[in-house]
């Protein structure tokens, strides 16, 4: 079969290529990151209209593996993989939530949340992990000596890796920063039978160890510096545009930590344009927690310098990353998409998440970061109220209940403006009536 996708060094002065079944995560010549390149001329043999029709016909269908939001776009993702080696849990195809009430409150009518957390392991990480684990299964079937797949994680990558590996019968190993992930996130790989290494360090410390242990080629690296993940994650932007009947929104806001996902979002949108499915590109905004903001700091200096920071504890624990692996890819994306980087403080992100919940969302704190950034950019006039804005909601709020409980109990060290507490009462009619009366009177005033 002709070669239709391969790894390629992102350094334009180098550009070395590697086959997709080689165990390589960084360019062996210049140490730059790799990305998957597709034979765009072969893909362009179908015109934009034909691709749209194909993608629409497959969307949520029951024909293996094309009903998955990722594998419905198989030719753009991993064209050479055998369908038998695909490990899919029907990821993608998640709801676009019209944030009508939230939007009205802040004065923007055309606001949408892409609920990437409504998926098997509860975060967008499923989109990338289906691709990576499928490729591993294919490589094992070809005789590659892979004993286990390994990742460092802030909680969601490990959950996705554990579940896809368990579904495929492939051993997985996860390195987690002790006390820095939620209980729900910890119990996911435990339940799925991963080897869970719980370390007294932060994410950056875990990542450093993982890079060292995966120098052994029998331990395959599943972090997003492995660009196979990006191929699955890039379908999110394509899918959103499809959900709008191929109309490109004006602005995307995406929370960023290790910065693989923003690069993925950009990559998918560029393919849509290059292959003639759409004409315009949106603006992309990366939202960072102020306590883990190296991209924001670099943006403020026009990306002339990049300095890793020591990430401080943030409620947005999945983006508590000080030395993002995909920094260069993210900068490239931001330059292509007229990008903005904005940050949110702890009270801002928690209040924005809670305010959204009051309008029918159930936000994770990272989505809170993105919503807080939306509020700031509206206020600053950097987003226009007539624009169509899509917020990428990266995980399900149920993974982050500790944070929500503390918010509503006002235990976070700031006012928690939207706190709502259960009223404890004796189970007696008079007590219940009195409480109802009081609550309804308060509502009127």
Ligand X SMILES: *Cc1c(COP(=O)(O)O)cnc(C)c1O
Q: Taking the CB of residue 43, how many other CB atoms lie within 10 A of it?
A: 17
Cis peptide before 257 (omega within 30 of 0): no
Does residue number 315 form part of the binding site for ligand X (CB under 6 A)? no
Binding mask 168-197 for ligand X (x = CB under 6 A): ------------------------------
How does DSSP assign 189-229, residue by residue?
Answer: HHHTT-EEEEESS-HHHHHHHHHHHTTSTTEEE-STTSTHH
Buried b (16+ CB within 10 A) or exposed e, 121-137: bbbbbbbbbbbbbbbbb
Binding mask 22-51 for Zn ion (x = CB under 5 A): -----x-xx-x-------------------
Binding mask 235-254 for ligand X (x = CB under 6 A): --------------------
Query: In the complex, what is the shortest distance from the CB of residue 260 to ligand X, in angstroms, rounded to a whole number?
Result: 4
Nearer Cβ to ligand X, position 257 or 339?
257
Within 8 A by CB and 6+ apart from 245, the residues are: none
d(C-alpha 251, C-alpha 260), whole Å: 19
Find, among 62, 13, 56, 15, the residue nearest to 34 by Cα.
Answer: 15
Binds ligand X by CB under 6 A, chosen from 364, 371, 373, 377: 364
Per rule CB under 5 A, count of chain residues that contact Zn ion: 8
Find, among 11, 16, 129, the residue nearest to 68 by Cα.
Answer: 129
Binds ligand X by CB under 6 A, chosen from 111, 168, 176, 395: 395
* Cα separation values, 396 from 123, 136, 186, 193, 417, Å: 6, 27, 15, 22, 22
d(C-alpha 23, C-alpha 42), whole Å: 25
Does residue number 333 form part of the binding site for ligand X (CB under 6 A)? no
Does residue number 267 form part of the binding site for ligand X (CB under 6 A)? no
- Contact (Cβ atoms closer than 8 angstroms) between residue 69 and residue 235: yes
Three-state secondary structure call for residue 90: coil
Binds ligand X by CB under 6 A, chosen from 88, 94, 119, 123: 123
Query: In the complex, what is the shortest distance from the CB of residue 308 to ligand X, in angstroms, rounded to a whole number?
Result: 14
Nearer Cβ to Zn ion, position 129 or 221?
221
Q: Which residues make beta-bridge pairs with 390? A: 112, 252
Per rule CB under 6 A, count of chain residues that contact ligand X: 17
Query: In the complex, what is the shortest distance from the CB of residue 261 to ligand X, in angstroms, rounded to a whole number?
Result: 3
Radius of gyration of the chain (CA): 22
Does residue number 125 form part of the binding site for ligand X (CB under 6 A)? yes
The interface partner of residue 295, options being Zn ion, ligand X, none and the CB cut-off 5 to 8 Å by kind, is none
Q: Which two tokens stand for residue 415?
A: 């006012």
Q: Which two tokens stand for residue 1?
A: 């079969």
Does residue number 258 form part of the binding site for ligand X (CB under 6 A)? yes
Binding mask 205-224 for ligand X (x = CB under 6 A): -------------------x
The interface partner of residue 94, options being ligand X, Zn ion, none and the CB cut-off 5 to 8 Å by kind, is none
Binding mask 13-52 for ligand X (x = CB under 6 A): ----------------------------------------
The interface partner of residue 14, options being ligand X, Zn ion, none and the CB cut-off 5 to 8 Å by kind, is Zn ion
Q: Which two tokens stand for residue 136?
A: 């591993």
Find, among 316, 346, 344, the residue nearest to 414 by Cα.
Answer: 346
**Taking CB under 5 A as the criterion, which residues in 4-23 touch Zn ion?**
9, 11, 14, 16
- Contact (Cβ atoms closer than 8 angstroms) between residue 235 and residue 77: yes
- Contact (Cβ atoms closer than 8 angstroms) between residue 257 and residue 309: no
Binds ligand X by CB under 6 A, chosen from 68, 158, 290, 394: 394
- Contact (Cβ atoms closer than 8 angstroms) between residue 171 and residue 140: no
Does residue number 156 form part of the binding site for ligand X (CB under 6 A)? yes
Find, among 237, 282, 313, 210, the residue nearest to 76 by Cα.
Answer: 237
Binds ligand X by CB under 6 A, chosen from 32, 194, 242, 261: 261
Binds ligand X by CB under 6 A, chosen from 257, 266, 294, 356: 257
State the pairing for strand pair 172-177/148-152: parallel
The interface partner of residue 29, options being ligand X, Zn ion, none and the CB cut-off 5 to 8 Å by kind, is Zn ion
Nearer Cβ to Zn ion, position 175 or 228?
228
Nearer Cβ to Zn ion, position 137 or 329?
329
Q: Which residues make beta-bridge pairs with 97? A: 113
The interface partner of residue 256, options being Zn ion, ligand X, none and the CB cut-off 5 to 8 Å by kind, is ligand X
Q: Which two tokens stand for residue 428?
A: 């007696």
Q: Which stretch binds ligand X (CB under 6 A): 37-45, 258-266, 268-276, 375-383?
A: 258-266
Which residues of the shown chain bind ligand X in the complex (CB under 6 A)?
123, 125, 156, 224, 255-261, 318-319, 364, 366, 394-395
Binding positions for Zn ion, rule: CB under 5 A: 9, 11, 14, 16, 27, 29-30, 32
């Amino acid at each position: 079969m002709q070669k239709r996708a391969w790894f390629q060094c992102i350094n334009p002065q180098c550009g070395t290529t590697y086959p997709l079944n080689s165990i390589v995560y960084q360019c062996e010549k210049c140490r730059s990151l790799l990305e998957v390149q597709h034979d765009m001329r072969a893909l362009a043999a179908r015109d934009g209209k034909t691709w749209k029709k194909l993608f629409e016909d497959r969307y949520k269908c029951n024909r293996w593996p094309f009903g998955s939001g990722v594998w419905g776009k198989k030719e753009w993702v991993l064209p050479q993989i055998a369908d038998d080696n695909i490990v899919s849990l029907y990821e993608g195809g998640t709801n676009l939530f019209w944030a009508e009430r939230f939007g009205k409150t802040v004065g923007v009518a055309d606001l949408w949340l892409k609920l990437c957390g409504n998926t098997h392991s509860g975060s967008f990480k499923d989109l990338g992990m289906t691709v990576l684990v499928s490729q591993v299964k294919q490589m094992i079937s070809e005789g590659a000596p892979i004993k286990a797949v390994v990742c460092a994680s802030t909680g969601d990558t490990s959950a996705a890796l554990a579940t896809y590996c368990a579904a495929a019968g492939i051993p997985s190993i996860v390195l987690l920063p002790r006390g820095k992930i939620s209980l729900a996130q910890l119990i996911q790989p435990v339940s799925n039978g991963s080897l869970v290494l719980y370390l007294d360090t932060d994410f950056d410390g875990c990542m450093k160890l993982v890079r060292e242990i995966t120098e052994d080629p029998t331990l395959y690296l599943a972090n997003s510096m492995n660009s196979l993940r990006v191929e699955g994650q890039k379908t999110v932007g394509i899918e959103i545009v499809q959900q709008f009947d191929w109309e490109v929104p004006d602005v995307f806001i995406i929370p960023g930590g290790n910065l693989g996902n923003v690069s993925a979002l950009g990559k998918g949108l560029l393919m849509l344009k290059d292959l003639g499915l759409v004409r315009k590109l949106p603006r992309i905004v990366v939202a960072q927690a102020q306590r883990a903001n190296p991209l924001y700091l670099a943006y403020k200096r026009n990306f002339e310098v990049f300095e890793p920071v020591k990430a401080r504890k943030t409620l947005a624990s999945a983006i508590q990353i000080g030395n993002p692996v995909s920094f260069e890819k993210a900068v490239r994306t931001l330059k292509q998409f007229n990008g903005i980087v904005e940050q949110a403080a702890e009270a801002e992100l928690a209040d924005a998440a809670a305010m959204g919940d009051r309008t029918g969302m159930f936000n994770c704190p990272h989505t809170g970061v993105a919503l807080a950034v939306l509020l700031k950019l509206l206020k600053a006039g950097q987003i226009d109220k007539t624009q169509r804005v899509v917020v990428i909601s990266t995980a399900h709020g149920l993974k982050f209940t500790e944070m929500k409980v503390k918010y509503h109990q006002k235990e976070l060290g700031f006012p928690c403006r939207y706190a709502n507490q259960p009223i404890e009462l004796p189970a007696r009619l008079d007590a219940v009536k009195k409480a109802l009366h009081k609550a309804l009177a308060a509502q009127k005033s």
